[in-house]
Amino acid sequence: MANNENQNQGNQLQIQLRPEIADGKYSNLAMIGHGPNEFLIDFIFAAPGMPQAPVVGRIIMSPENAKQLMFALTDNIQKYEAQFGEIKPRAPRGQIGNN
């Protein structure tokens, strides 16, 4: 077991956050598409009253990694709601009430 632990420590991934990425991008809309081998997630900023909404980032993932992201988001949303309360969904843009 000690050998296994040493091997795992030697294989630790060091995450690097470059300064130009560290500030992040704000997104209030995401569009998701997929093909047989990948998922594409476009993060978009839609400003009120603006006719166009730029894509601020695009992430391309394998189906397996997309599913792992889904699990991680579900886990983190549950933890968030346990601490801060339920996240209540709003009506989609341009919709009011039940149409």
Q: Please give the model's pTM, rounded to 2 decimal places.
A: 0.74
Residue 40 lies in a domain: yes
Range of the domain at 61: 24-84
Structure tokens at 70: 């889904």
Residue 46 to residues 18, 88, 89, 91, Cα–Cα distance (Å): 26, 20, 17, 15
Instruction: Tell me the C-alpha distance between 32 and 70, whole Å.
Output: 12
Query: pLDDT tens digits for 1-21?
Result: 445 554 556 689 999 999 989
Per-residue pLDDT at 90: 81
Low-confidence residues in the chain, pLDDT < 70: 1-10, 91-99
Residue 67 lies in a domain: yes
Residue 19 lies in a domain: no
DSSP conformation class of 94: T
Q: Are 37 and 52 in contact (CB under 8 A)?
A: no
User: What's the structural domain count of the chain?
Assistant: 1
Per-residue pLDDT at 22: 94
Residue 6 lies in a domain: no
Residue 72 lies in a domain: yes
Residue 42 lies in a domain: yes
Give every strand in the sheet of 29-34, ordered side by side: 29-34, 39-44, 55-61
Residue 3 lies in a domain: no
Q: Are 44 and 30 in contact (CB under 8 A)?
A: yes
Instruction: Tell me the C-alpha distance between 32 and 67, whole Å.
Output: 13
* Alpha-carbon torsion (13, 15, 35, 77), positive or negative: positive
Residue 1 lies in a domain: no
